[in-house]
Amino acid sequence: MDYISHFQIQFAKVFDLPFAFSFWKARVALYAILKAMGIGGGDEVILPGYTCVMDVNPIKYLGAKPVYVDIEPQTYNIDPSLIEEKITTKTRLIIAQHTYGYPCDLDRIFEIAARHNVPVIEDCCLSLGSRYKGRMVGTFGKAAYFSFQWNKPFTTGLGGMAVTGDGQLAERLEQLCRQLVQPSVKDKLMLTAQLAVYRAFIYPRTTALAQSLFRFLTKKGVVVGSSSTAEYVPTMAKDFFKAMSGVQARSGLRQLKKLSAGIEHRKTMAKLYDTLLSEIGYKPVRLDEQIYDPVLVRYPIRVRDKEKALHDAAAAGVELGSWFECPLHPIETPLEKYDYTLGQCPQAEKASREVVNLPLHPRAGENTVRRTVKFIQNYL
């Protein structure tokens, strides 16, 4: 069986879209979309100033310039009221990132985009299953891309997918996919082993230790990491444009069977967080349910002392995430090399100092949620 083609077809069906293209990582999917859209030297791409630097690298690889827009403090999404002032004659694209799984205000974004004849693509790396006005995010823009990395809503270890309903764009993507580098035997063996370890040993109480060990081993080249220090400079590696492996596709097909159950679990646990946090005086995010139906990858929450909360959580065996450590996560990012100046996006910088996130994955059940809230209440 051609697992990769089958996975692409089945994934596209989730969104009722005709085209899906798989890649080694989501950042490769973004690069392919940008290149297929003709983004190049001198072009400007608008995106939120609260994202991962790996989303910025593909823009820089093509010689384009990232233009950052500050975020809304409630949803951590791009603030539509600030987009228009950043549009110039060089603006070629707006990236709508659905942060943590909260859908963007797509009506306002598309209204602005249409007025200036600028296309929109969706960053759905954190939002698989989220809906806006009853419709799945990822189906609004010219294209969308998804991440299947370890801590995403749907994981194949590593991996990414681009989807589109645009036939011309799909044709260009298909042509580009013929140029993809194939994963090495070593890549596939390491990823297979890591998937087995992940399934056997990664649970809420062990996550902090596992993440520290994983980052150490990634730097040593012993494991296939989500990112490497070489990617904190905007220069594309020779093997960057890499295809998805059969290992990832087979895992993806298995995960698709669990997708509906996973979405329901995340919604149920998020509601439990809402309830428990409200009981201790913390105000959860409240969105219009007629418009927004989020499926959160992690539950974001603001704390007084982020560094202490993360340190104490690791010692207590509580799973606490640090997204986003700076406007262009992670903290190691040399911001100046990515055209970001401190003070540019004050709300994003404030969120970076205050926000941690709580687990919602299938191994985080009701007991984990209650234990996590009991821990975090002392830091709110």
* Helix segments in 221-294, DSSP class H: 246-257, 259-279
Three-state secondary structure call for residue 245: coil
User: Is position 69 within any domain?
Assistant: no
Residue 191 is predicted with a pLDDT of 86
Task: Identify the burial level of 371 via C-beta atoms within 10 angstroms of its C-beta, where 0-12 means exposed, 13-18 middle and 19 or more buried.
Answer: middle
The pTM (predicted TM-score) of the whole model is: 0.93
Cβ atoms of 243 and 180 within 8 Å: the answer is yes
In a domain, 41, yes or no: no
Q: What's the rounded Cα separation, in Å, for the pair 251 and 134? A: 28
User: Would 277 be classed as within a structural domain?
Assistant: yes
Q: Does the structure show a pLDDT above 70 at 206?
A: no
Residue 285 forms part of a structural domain: yes
Q: Which tens digit of pLDDT belongs to each residue from 19-77?
A: 999 999 999 999 999 999 999 999 999 999 999 999 999 999 999 999 999 999 999 99
Asked if the structure places residue 149 within a domain, the reply is no
Q: Which of 6-15, 202-211, 270-279 has the lowest mean pLDDT?
A: 202-211
What average pLDDT is seen over the chain? 93
User: Would 283 be classed as within a structural domain?
Assistant: yes
Q: Which two tokens stand for residue 214?
A: 């994983």
Question: What does DSSP assign to residue 339?
Answer: T
- Does residue 201 have a pLDDT over 70? no
pLDDT at 16 over 80: yes
What tens digit of pLDDT does each residue of 217-252 get? 555 455 455 555 567 789 999 999 999 999 999 999
Q: What is the DSSP string of 350-373?
A: HHHHHEEEE--STT--HHHHHHHH
pLDDT tens digit sequence for 327-365? 999 999 999 999 999 999 999 999 999 999 999 999 999
Q: Is residue 31 part of a domain?
A: no
In a domain, 4, yes or no: no
Per-residue pLDDT band at 9 (split at 50, 70, 90): very high
State mean pLDDT over 263-279.
Answer: 98
Give the total number of structural domains in the chain. 1
Identify the three-state secondary structure at position 128: coil
Q: Can you tell me the mean pLDDT for 195-214?
A: 59
How many residues make up the chain in this entry? 380
Task: Look at residue 154 in the predicted model and tell me its pLDDT.
Answer: 85
pLDDT digits (tens, 9 = 90+) for 155-193: 888 999 999 999 999 999 999 999 999 999 999 888 887
How buried is residue 331: exposed, middle or buried, by Cβ count under 10 Å (0-12/13-18/19+)? exposed
Spell 124-161 as b/e; 16+ CB within 10 A means b: bbbbbbbbbeeebbbbbbbbbbbbbbbbbbbbbbbbbb
Cα–Cα distance for residue pair 193/357, rounded to 1 Å: 28
Question: Is a pLDDT exceeding 80 seen at residue 209?
Answer: no
Give me the domain span that covers residue 353.
Answer: 257-376
Quick one: tokens of 223? 């494991």
Task: Give the CATH number of the domain where residue 327 resides.
Answer: 3.90.1150.10
Instruction: Give percent of the chain with pLDDT exceeding 70.
Output: 91
Q: What is the DSSP string of 20-52?
A: EEEESSHHHHHHHHHHHTT--TT-EEEEESSEE
